[in-house]
Structure 1
Amino acid sequence: MDVNRVKQILSSSADINVLYNGASVWIDELHESGKLVTVHLRGPLEERTQVAVEDLVEVD
């Protein structure tokens, strides 16, 4: 995924399915560097982690 798409997803009210390592995640924040985002798994666990933007995959 690229930074522009991350920005679009963050500003959208739509439920956009994004995967990280095969797991469905919510994008919480794009970091100033533009290379990292904070995500958390969809579901009851709220543990947040920083991952590379390029490691995210949007599912149609």
Structure 2
Amino acid sequence: MDIRRVQEIINSQTMINVNYHGIPVYLEEVHAQNNTVTIFPLDEMKNRQVVDLEGLVELGP
């Protein structure tokens, strides 16, 4: 996923569905210097992870 799109999703007022390798996640913070993002699975909100943007997929319109 493009880093600009990730930032748009984070700043959005509406919920935009995103998966990380098939797991629904919440995007928390972009780290532009190394093309990563802090996420957490929607069913494990305490399980924060820093992951590469490449594994993120936006779902639906």
| Superposed pair shares fold, TM > 0.5 | yes
TM-score (norm 2): 0.88
Gaps (5+ residues) in structure 1? Answer: none
Identity score, percent: 37
Instruction: Tell me what 1:57 maps to.
Output: 57
One-letter code of the match for 1:24? P
| Distance in 1 between residues matched to 2:34 and 2:13, nearest whole Å | 21
Q: Where in structure 1 do 4 or more consecutive aligned residues deviate above 6 Å?
A: none
Shift in CA distance, 3/55, structure 1 to aligned 2, threshold 3 Å: same
CA RMSD, Structure 1 to Structure 2 (Å): 1.3
TM-score (norm 1): 0.90
Instruction: Tell me what 1:31 maps to.
Output: 31
Gaps (5+ residues) in structure 2? Answer: none
Shift in CA distance, 53/31, structure 1 to aligned 2, threshold 3 Å: same
